[in-house]
Chains A and B, each alone.
Chain A
Amino acid sequence: MVASKKISSKIIIYILLIAGVVLSIAPFYWMIVGSTLPSGEIFRVPPKLLPGDYLAKNFQTLNESLGIARIFWNSLFIALVYTLFSTLISAMAGYAFAKFKFKGKNVFFFIILCTLMIPSQVTLIPLFEMMVTFNWLNTYQAIILPTLASPFAIYLMRQNMKAIPDSIMEASRIDGAGELKIFFTVILPVTRPAMAAVGIFLFMSQWNSLLWPLITLNSKEMFTLPVALSSLIGMARIDYGQLMLGTTLSTIPIMIFFLLLQKHFISGILGGSVKE
Chain B
Amino acid sequence: MKKYMSVMLVMLLLLLSACSNKTAGDEGKIGDSKNPSGSITVWGWDVAAATMKAAVEKFQKQYPDVEVKVEDFNSADLYDKLTVGLAARGSGLPDVVLMEDERIPGYLHQFPQGFLNLNKLGYEKYKDSFNLAKVAAVQNEDGDFIAAPWDIGPAGVFYRVDYFEKANVDPNSIQTWDDYIEAGKKIKEATGAKLLPIDIPNYDGVFQMMMQSQGLSYFDNDDKIALESKEAIRSMEVIKKLHDEDLILNNKGWDGIVTATVNGSVATVPYGVWYAGTIMDQAPDLKGKWDAFYLPSFDGGTRYANVGGSSVLIPSSSKNQSAAYAFVEFFTTDTESQLLGFEKYGLFPSLKETYSAPQFTENNEYFNNSPIFKKFADIVDQVPQINVNGNFAKASSLISNAQAAILLENKAVDTGLNEAKKQLENERKK
Contacts and interface: CB of A to CB of B under 8 A. Distances in A.
Interface in B11-44: 16, 19-20, 22-24, 41
A43 B258 contact: yes
B265 interface: yes
A135 B91 CA distance: 10
A45 to B, nearest CB: 4
Contacts of B122: none
Contacts of A234: 45-47, 74
B369 interface: no
B76 to A, nearest CB: 8
A235 B16 contact: no
Chain A CB within 10 Å — which of B46, B71, B308 has the most? B46
A132 B278 contact: no
Given A43-B258, A139-B23, A233 B74 contact: yes
Interface centre among B72, B74, B277, B284 (most CB of A within 10 A): B74
Contact of B283 (A40, A124, A238): A40
Contacts of B69: 219
Interface string A217-233: 01110000001001111
Contact of A231 (B74, B87, B254): B74
A215 B16 CA distance: 20
Q: Which secondary structure dominates chain B's binding surface?
A: helix
Interface stretch (B77-85, B234-242, B353-361, B420-428): B77-85
A113 interface: no
Nearest to B41: A218
A179 interface: yes
B74 A132 contact: no
B23 A237 contact: no
A135 B1 contact: no
Given A135-B24, A237-B281, A227 B19 contact: no
Interface in A159-202: 178-180
Name which of A124, A137, A145, A238 has the most chain B CB atoms within 10 A of its CB: A238
Contact of B88 (A129, A138, A233): A129
Listed residue (B47, B81, B89, B275) with the most chain A CB atoms within 10 angstroms of its CB: B81
Chain A interface category by residue count: 35 or more
Interface string A196-220: 0000000000000001001100111
B7 to A, nearest CB: 11
B278 A236 contact: yes
Contact of A214 (B46, B80, B265): B80
B88 A235 contact: no
A120 interface: no
Contacts of B150: none
Interface residues on B, range: 35 or more
B219 interface: no
A39 B285 CA distance: 12
Given A40-B284, A43-B262, A211-B80, A237 B87 contact: no
A182 B343 CA distance: 69
Contacts of B1: 178-180
Interface in A15-42: 39-40
B62 interface: no
Contacts of A43: 258-259, 262-263, 282
A176 to B, nearest CB: 14
B279 to A, nearest CB: 10
A145 B274 CA distance: 43
B262 A139 contact: no
B45 A235 contact: yes
Given A179-B1, A231-B74, A215 B84 contact: yes
A136 interface: yes
9 contacts: A45-B263, A125-B84, A139-B20, A139-B22, A139-B23, A180-B1, A234-B46, A236-B346, A237-B46
Interface of B: 1, 4, 16, 19-20, 22-24, 41, 45-48, 69, 71-77, 80-81, 84-85, 87-89, 91-92, 254-255, 258-259, 262-263, 265, 274-275, 277-278, 281-285, 308, 346
Going nearest first, the 8 A-B pairs with the smallest beta carbon separation are A234-B46, A132-B91, A43-B262, A43-B259, A45-B263, A233-B74, A129-B88, A40-B282
Interface of A: 39-40, 43-45, 124-125, 128-129, 131-132, 134-141, 145, 178-180, 211, 214-215, 218-220, 227, 230-239
